[in-house]
Amino acid sequence: MPEIRVTPLGAGQDVGRSCILVSIAGKNVMLDCGMHMGFNDDRRFPDFSYITQNGRLTDFLDCVIISHFHLDHCGALPYFSEMVGYDGPIYMTHPTQAICPILLEDYRKIAVDKKGEANFFTSQMIKDCMKKVVAVHLHQTVQVDDELEIKAYYAGHVLGAAMFQIKVGSESVVYTGDYNMTPDRHLGAAWIDKCRPNLLITESTYATTIRDSKRCRERDFLKKVHETVERGGKVLIPVFALGRAQELCILLETFWERMNLKVPIYFSTGLTEKANHYYKLFIPWTNQKIRKTFVQRNMFEFKHIKAFDRAFADNPGPMVVFATPGMLHAGQSLQIFRKWAGNEKNMVIMPGYCVQGTVGHKILSGQRKLEMEGRQVLEVKMQVEYMSFSAHADAKGIMQLVGQAEPESVLLVHGEAKKMEFLKQKIEQELRLLPEAKKPRLLHGTLIMKDSNFRLVSSEQALKELGLAEHQLRFTCRVHLHDTRKEQETALRVYSHLKSVLKDHCVQHLPDGSVTVESVLLQAAAPSEDPGTKVLLVSWTYQDEELGSFLTSLLKKGLPQAPS
């Protein structure tokens, strides 16, 4: 049995820089090629030199698969393909292919233009890299080469996120990427069929969390926003441009529609416009509601949400503004925050996690006075709310997916080691993943070795092919019975006894006085020395060993008293 070897170059037991090497039956596949947000040195990219010291990567890797467009899953791609050098195919879904370059370009701009880094990949490199991409559809089986095939499954999480099944011969691995098992306002739930892979590599971000119903969260969020704008306050929602932003937009848009509200909603421009355009195009990747209604109206064509202009922040009256970036550490969201922080009627809603040190983290931990640059002190009077809108599967979701796919073994990545320990225990305990295929099974057949070929055929066919006669192996056994009657009668008694016991078998009484049960032959004989006992000869073939031994033990117990 060919072995499967998995080497995580990143995101093995942490989050960020997802990159996993899988060798399966001689084929090498790289899953994801991400960067790490936390580092600005060489550690931000996976160490590709592990793969090969000298020689091109193309010779070692059969293909690269990108699960979705988040930078921690695709951020190192131009570096990997253009600077390190890889010319093989890169597989990703259509939406990922469309949105990925926008994010890479944005990332490059911040790194090069803002931070002034040299030796970073260029715009041209991003373009060149994207030329190597092969887009795949959901559930489309792509033949990478003669033996290696991959297939994408829907994963939820973000638009175009996919799980991939990698198959070589009879060996298969499923890599989930990031996924979400509970549907939300614009995406459906991850789904996989019972493909029974040898190995399932799953993310485990929320390995120790079971989340509450999303409805309560949504209701709370909408209620907060609604109350604030009714009071005449302004609502600031700092978001990252893609993913959750669209989710919240749809949430607010439908709510505005339902409640017939007229308060303006703005979205800070830039990257989002382009991304929204792609969201409009990739309707098949969204959830049931959007798919069903887009003919009448595309849900991403927002009626109430308009582009934001810097000057709008000073407008009187209530409004809702989505602004980037999501942690309030710089840019437009911070500017607006400074303008509005002084009014207790206003509110800021943080829809996600904030890294320590950012303004977002400070206000969430209850700080009311913030030191801004230039020794200014900003007093925060506005309300601060936290709502978690995360699109990862929780512990239950992970278990559900594992249950759906029925893998032989599970590998947890993309999470914390401690939390994985818990989930590992649970998976072992509740799913009992003992591969059925490895259980010993009985098989009757003949292995024919001919011209360095192996063939497994049935014994009859083998005999026929080789022109051999079949040898029969028979067991014989004597059973002594106490019976004073004649042999014939004894045989008859044996016959009627067996007939009554073995209803499922064909019991026959042959004219020569012997009894047959299937292939088992019974003959009664009278030994000369003792007329009181009869000897019963039992003979059976090797194939009927079970029946034969059953019969002898049965007969050894003696015959039932005949009604004489």
539 bridge partner residues? 476, 521
Q: Which is nearer to another protein, 74 or 187 (CB)?
A: 187
Residues 498-517 that bind another protein (CB under 8 A): none
Helix (H, G, I), strand (E, B) or coil at 9: strand
* 396 touches another protein by CB under 8 A: yes
With CB under 8 A as the contact rule, the residue among 60, 386, 475, 550 that binds another protein is 386
Based on the residue annotation, tell me whether 430 is a catalytic residue of this protein: no
Q: Which is nearer to another protein, 384 or 517 (CB)?
A: 384
Cβ atoms of residues 20 and 201 within 8 Å? yes
Q: Which is nearer to another protein, 385 or 483 (CB)?
A: 385
Instruction: Please report, as a single letter, which amino acid is at residue 67.
Output: S
Nearest approach, Cβ of residue 426 and another protein (Å): 5
Nearest approach, Cβ of residue 246 and another protein (Å): 14
Nearest approach, Cβ of residue 269 and another protein (Å): 27
Residues whose CB falls within 8 Å of the CB of residue 308, separated by 6 or more in sequence, listed in order: 266, 267, 268, 269, 321, 322, 323, 332
Cβ atoms of residues 319 and 312 within 8 Å? yes
Q: Return d(Cα 32, Cα 84) in angstroms, integer.
A: 16
Contact segment (CB under 8 A) with another protein among 16-24, 265-273, 358-366, 460-468 equals 358-366
Cβ atoms of residues 438 and 227 within 8 Å? no
* 399 touches another protein by CB under 8 A: yes
* 77 touches another protein by CB under 8 A: no
* Number of chain residues interacting with another protein (CB under 8 A): 54
Q: Which of 82, 171, 203, 385 is catalytic?
A: 203
Q: Which is nearer to another protein, 124 or 367 (CB)?
A: 367
Q: Return d(Cα 355, Cα 330) in angstroms, integer.
A: 13
Determine the angle formed by the axes of helices 271-281 and 94-109, rounding to 10 degrees: 180
Instruction: Please report, as a single letter, which amino acid is at residue 323.
Output: A
Q: Which is nearer to another protein, 133 or 393 (CB)?
A: 393
Residues 38-67 that bind another protein (CB under 8 A): none
Nearest approach, Cβ of residue 205 and another protein (Å): 12
Contact segment (CB under 8 A) with another protein among 34-42, 132-140, 253-261, 475-483 equals 253-261
Residues 321-340 that bind another protein (CB under 8 A): none
Q: Which two tokens stand for residue 169?
A: 């011969």
Nearest approach, Cβ of residue 279 and another protein (Å): 17
Q: Which is nearer to another protein, 364 or 494 (CB)?
A: 364
Nearest approach, Cβ of residue 203 and another protein (Å): 16
Q: Which is nearer to another protein, 315 or 425 (CB)?
A: 425
**Cis previous bond, 89, omega within 30:** no
Helix (H, G, I), strand (E, B) or coil at 478: strand
Contact segment (CB under 8 A) with another protein among 21-29, 80-88, 165-173, 383-391 equals 383-391
* 364 touches another protein by CB under 8 A: yes
Residues 276-305 that bind another protein (CB under 8 A): 287-289
Cβ atoms of residues 79 and 107 within 8 Å? no
Tell me how crowded residue 238 is: count the other CB atoms within 10 A of its CB.
30
Nearest approach, Cβ of residue 357 and another protein (Å): 16
Helix (H, G, I), strand (E, B) or coil at 509: strand
Residues whose CB falls within 8 Å of the CB of residue 214, separated by 6 or more in sequence, listed in order: 182, 184
Q: Which is nearer to another protein, 84 or 222 (CB)?
A: 222
With CB under 8 A as the contact rule, the residue among 52, 383, 446, 539 that binds another protein is 383
With CB under 8 A as the contact rule, the residue among 403, 531, 558, 560 that binds another protein is 403
Helix (H, G, I), strand (E, B) or coil at 103: helix
Nearest approach, Cβ of residue 441 and another protein (Å): 16
Q: Which is nearer to another protein, 335 or 390 (CB)?
A: 390
Cα–Cα distance list, 6 to 20, 22, 29, 61, 80 (Å): 7, 5, 10, 13, 19
* 312: enclosing H helix or E strand: none
Q: Which is nearer to another protein, 105 or 257 (CB)?
A: 257
How many CA atoms within 13 Å lie on the side-chain side of 169?
A: 9
With CB under 8 A as the contact rule, the residue among 114, 258, 439, 503 that binds another protein is 258
Residues 412-431 that bind another protein (CB under 8 A): 419, 422, 425-426, 430-431
Residues 174-233 that bind another protein (CB under 8 A): 182-183, 185, 188-189, 191-194, 208-220, 222-224, 226
Q: Return d(Cα 528, Cα 524) in angstroms, integer.
A: 13
Whether the CA torsion 271, 276, 281, 283 is positive or negative: it is positive
- When computed from its CA atoms, the radius of gyration of the chain, rounded to whole angstroms, is 36
Chain centre to alpha carbon of residue 74: 18
Q: Which residue has the tokens 């991400």?
A: 34
* 385 touches another protein by CB under 8 A: yes
Tell me how crowded residue 178 is: count the other CB atoms within 10 A of its CB.
26
Residues classed as catalytic: 203
Q: Where on the chain is the footprint of another protein (CB under 8 A)?
A: 182-183, 185, 188-189, 191-194, 208-220, 222-224, 226, 254, 257-260, 287-289, 364-366, 383-387, 395-396, 399-400, 403-404, 419, 422, 425-426, 430-431
